[in-house]
């Protein structure tokens, strides 16, 4: 019987991350700041708590990250009903997504680990057997690189991401409202109260959604109608591929900066608007806005919007899905 394991990777600067084969989950991220260990990733104390929470803390999300409207897709004139798990829609791959699977540890070294998973044909309604690899690497320049690879036996949408929540101020901080955030994107997707696209992509200057210059997360947070609908940021931004980085997050004490780079076309910015009651590591619970997730992905519901300006989210047999995202930390 396979068991849940915890694996630690460390680098020469004293940075340390922890991962688990359960959900190929990123459990912890410790940075040496002013001679102290600073935990910058949200997480629980026990696996039981991880299993109960519904915030997808640090988990690998698949087969399809974010929402698919009405939990249905069409491929080659065939209709596929998927497993719905948020009202009529599907969120993060269905009731038993990749976050709830026990992955196989294929290889492991001091600074890298590879998890693999086979998702059977029909899993959560998706066609084709999907063979997935999730590789985490901790480099000596304080980068956590997450690579995903996949192959399929039938055409299927694939959108793998990691659902880490960051609070760069560390565990004593209660929220990320005074972090500064920059996202290099000219367009974003407005959504309705169910998180489903309510419009086409629009310019970030509309509705006060512009993050192209560093901006405090608290800045007019609930003043824009778009953010009121989702109780904070919970929006996909289409990245400007001409920029060197996708996003930058800076702690409120300015001691930690995190740069995000990715091969994915979009970043879901989610400010933890519904984190309340999620168990933390200290026998207590997180509150709303305790952490921010910067999830690299295809735009939500892409299988039903082939017209959107991004590469196709469908993987064909004989193709290889390959994407990577890196979170790099700079300590002042």
Catalytic residues: 163, 295
Q: Which is nearer to ligand BGC, 23 or 128 (CB)?
A: 23
Q: Which stretch binds ligand BGC (CB under 6 A): 112-120, 168-176, 267-275, 307-315?
A: 267-275
**327 among the known binding-site residues?**
no
Residue that the structure tokens 């460390």 belong to: 10
- The one among 148, 270, 289, 327 contacting ligand BGC by CB under 6 A: 270
- What is the DSSP secondary-structure string of 88-133? TBEETTSTT-GGGSB-EEEEE-SSEEEEEEEEPTTGGG--S-EEEE
Under the binding rule (CB under 6 A), the answer on residue 50 touching ligand BGC is: no
**66 among the known binding-site residues?**
yes
Question: Omega of the bond prior to 242 within 30 degrees of 0, cis?
Answer: no
What track of x and - describes contact with ligand BGC for positions 210 through 239 (by CB under 6 A)?
------------------------x-----
Q: Which two three-digit tokens encode residue 148?
A: 């995903």
Q: Which is nearer to ligand BGC, 268 or 280 (CB)?
A: 268
Q: Which stretch binds ligand BGC (CB under 6 A): 126-134, 139-147, 266-274, 323-331?
A: 266-274
DSSP bridge pairs for 181? 215, 249
**Gyration radius from the chain CA atoms:** 19
Under the binding rule (CB under 6 A), the answer on residue 301 touching ligand BGC is: no
CB of 42 to ligand BGC, least distance (A): 12
What track of x and - describes contact with ligand BGC for positions 75 through 114 (by CB under 6 A)?
----------------x-----------------------
**163 among the known binding-site residues?**
yes
- What is the DSSP secondary-structure string of 252-306? TTSSEEEEEEESSSEEEEE--TT-TT-B-SSSSB--TTS-EEEEEESPTTGGG-T
Under the binding rule (CB under 6 A), the answer on residue 56 touching ligand BGC is: yes
Q: Which is nearer to ligand BGC, 114 or 230 (CB)?
A: 230
* Contact (Cβ atoms closer than 8 angstroms) between residue 168 and residue 327: no
Under the binding rule (CB under 6 A), the answer on residue 268 touching ligand BGC is: yes
Q: Which is nearer to ligand BGC, 22 or 270 (CB)?
A: 270
CB of 305 to ligand BGC, least distance (A): 17
Under the binding rule (CB under 6 A), the answer on residue 160 touching ligand BGC is: no
Give the count of beta carbons closer than 10 Å to the beta carbon of residue 328.
17
* Contact (Cβ atoms closer than 8 angstroms) between residue 230 and residue 191: yes
Q: Helix, strand, coil shares of the chain as percentages rounded to 5? A: 10, 40, 50
Of 3, 17, 1, 29, the closest CA to residue 105 belongs to 3
Under the binding rule (CB under 6 A), the answer on residue 44 touching ligand BGC is: no
Of 51, 43, 38, 48, the closest CA to residue 18 belongs to 43
CB of 172 to ligand BGC, least distance (A): 24
CA 26 – CA 47 distance, rounded (Å): 13
Q: Which stretch binds ligand BGC (CB under 6 A): 15-23, 130-138, 220-228, 268-276?
A: 268-276
Under the binding rule (CB under 6 A), the answer on residue 195 touching ligand BGC is: yes
Where along the sequence are the contacts to ligand BGC (CB under 6 A)? 55-56, 66, 91, 195, 234, 268, 270, 274, 295
Binding residues for beta-D-galactose: 66-67, 163-165, 234
Binding residues: 66-67, 163-165, 234
């Amino acid at each position: 019987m396979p068991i849940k394991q915890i694996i630690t990777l460390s680098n020469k600067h004293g940075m340390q991350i922890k991962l688990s084969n359960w959900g190929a989950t990123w459990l912890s991220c410790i940075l040496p700041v002013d001679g102290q260990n600073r935990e910058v990733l949200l997480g629980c104390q026990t696996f039981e708590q991880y299993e109960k929470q519904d915030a997808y803390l640090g988990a690998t999300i698949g087969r399809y990250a974010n929402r698919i409207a009405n939990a249905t897709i069409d491929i080659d004139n065939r209709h596929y009903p998927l497993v719905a798990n948020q009202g009529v829609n599907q969120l993060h791959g269905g009731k038993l997504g990749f976050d709830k699977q026990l992955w196989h540890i294929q290889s492991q070294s001091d600074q890298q680990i590879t998890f693999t998973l086979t998702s059977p044909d029909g899993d959560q309604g998706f066609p084709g057997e999907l063979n997935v690899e999730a590789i985490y690497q901790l480099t000596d320049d304080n980068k956590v690189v997450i690579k995903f690879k996949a192959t399929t036996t039938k055409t299927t949408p694939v959108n793998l991401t990691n659902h880490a929540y960051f609070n760069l101020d560390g565990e004593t901080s209660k929220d990320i409202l005074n972090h500064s955030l920059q996202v290099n994107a000219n367009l974003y997707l407005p959504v309705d109260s169910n998180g489903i696209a309510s419009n086409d992509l629009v310019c970030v200057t509309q509705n006060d959604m512009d993050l192209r210059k560093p901006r405090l997360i608290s800045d007019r947070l609930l003043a824009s109608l778009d953010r009121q609908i989702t109780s904070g940021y919970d929006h996909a931004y289409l990245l400007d591929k001409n920029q060197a980085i996708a996003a930058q997050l800076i702690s409120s004490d300015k001691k930690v900066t995190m740069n995000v780079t990715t091969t994915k076309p979009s970043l879901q910015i989610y400010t933890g608007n519904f984190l309340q009651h999620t168990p933390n590591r200290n026998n207590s619970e997180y509150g709303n806005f305790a952490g921010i997730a910067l999830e690299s992905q295809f735009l939500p519901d892409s299988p039903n919007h082939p017209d959107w300006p991004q590469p196709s989210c469908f993987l064909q047999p004989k193709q290889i899905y390959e994407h990577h995202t890196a979170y790099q930390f700079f300590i002042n």
